[in-house]
Structure 1
Amino acid sequence: MTYAIAEAAHRSGLSIDTLRYYERIELIDPPARDSGGRRAYSDADLAWLSFLTKLRTTGMPIKLMREYARLRHQGPVTAGPRKRILQKHREDVRTRIADLRVCLEVLDYKINNYECLVESQRVQEASA
């Protein structure tokens, strides 16, 4: 199945401009063209876009994503370097998750503190 750029954007959650940008910086291959010369994205293109979106969501820099995409084009011979990129990124993601957990604990503490203050004020107002 193929998808016009608007449908590919909708299905991928990316904007049309982002799809064109990814094509321009060679994160994605230029998609096939339909009989009218319009971009026609495949399911495989959408799967790759989904993976790229996950990499971006987890904070991988575009430069590293481009390196990964470049290696991907070279085929199975680059499996080792691609694996190392993902392993390093996984460690970065784990560190970020740990940092976010600490931040979440602080937020939970502060929210609980404010809940106690609000309840205390409510009790004071009710007894006045």
Structure 2
Amino acid sequence: MEYTIKNVAEKFNIAAHTLRYYEREGLLPPVHRLENGRRIYSETDLMRIQMICCMRETGMSIDAIKHYNMLNLLGEDTLPERRQIIFHQKEIVEKHINEYQKYFELLTQKLHYYDSLDAQIREKGRP
């Protein structure tokens, strides 16, 4: 299946100029273009964009993504280093999940507290 830049931007909730930037910076290989110059993205392009979005959303720099992509192009010999990069990024995400879980629990406790106060006030006959 083929996708326009608008389709891809909507799918990944990013701006079209961001996709053009990723291509210009070498995060994406040159995207296929129609005779009129319009970009057409393939399923492979979408998988790459999904990974780029994941890396960016988890805090990886453009330079780090470029390095990862360069390693990818170098082939199997770089597999251990690429794995280490992904493993490190996963650790960062786990840390954030744990932090947010603590925040979630605190907010849940505060809501229970307010709900119990509200119930006490209603029992006393106040609106």
Instruction: Please report the TM-score for the alignment, with normalisation by the length of structure 1.
Output: 0.85
Task: Give the aligned partner of residue 93 of structure 2.
Answer: 93
CA distance in 1, matches of 2:100, 2:26: 32
The answer on whether the counterparts of 1:12 and 1:46 sit within 8 Å (CA) in structure 2 is no
Alignment of 1:6-21 (within 5 A): 6-21=6-21
Identical-residue share of aligned pairs (%): 32
Shift, 1:13, TM fit: 3.0
Which ranges of structure 1 fall in alignment gaps of 5 or more residues?
none
Which secondary structure state, in structure 2, belongs to the residue aligned with residue 125 of structure 1?
coil
Any idea what SS the aligned residue of 2:36 has? coil
- Deviation at 1:112? 0.8
Amino acid at match of 1:18: T
Tell me the equivalent position of 1:103: 103
1:44 matched residue in structure 2: 44
1:12 deviates by 3.3
Distance in 1, Cα, partners of 2:11 & 2:108: 35
Residue 55 of structure 1: aligned partner? 55
Q: Secondary structure at the match of 2:6?
A: helix
| CA contact 1:5–1:40 (8 Å) conserved in 2 | yes
- Cα distance in 2 for partners of 1:36, 1:66 equals 29
- 2:22 matched residue in structure 1: 22
CA contact (8 A) 1:22 1:28 kept: yes
Q: CA deviation at 1:122?
A: 1.2
Distance across 1 between alignment mates of 2:59 and 2:4: 28
What 5-or-longer segments of structure 2 have no aligned partner? none
User: Partners in 2 of 1:39 and 1:9 — Cα distance?
Assistant: 12
Measured after TM superposition, the shift of residue 7 of structure 1 is 2.1
Of 65-74 and 42-51, more deviation after overlay is shown by 65-74
Scaled by the length of structure 2, the TM-score of the pair is 0.86
How far apart are the structure 2 equivalents of 1:119 and 1:29? 60
Q: State the superposition RMSD in angstroms.
A: 1.9
Deviation for aligned residue 1:87: 0.9
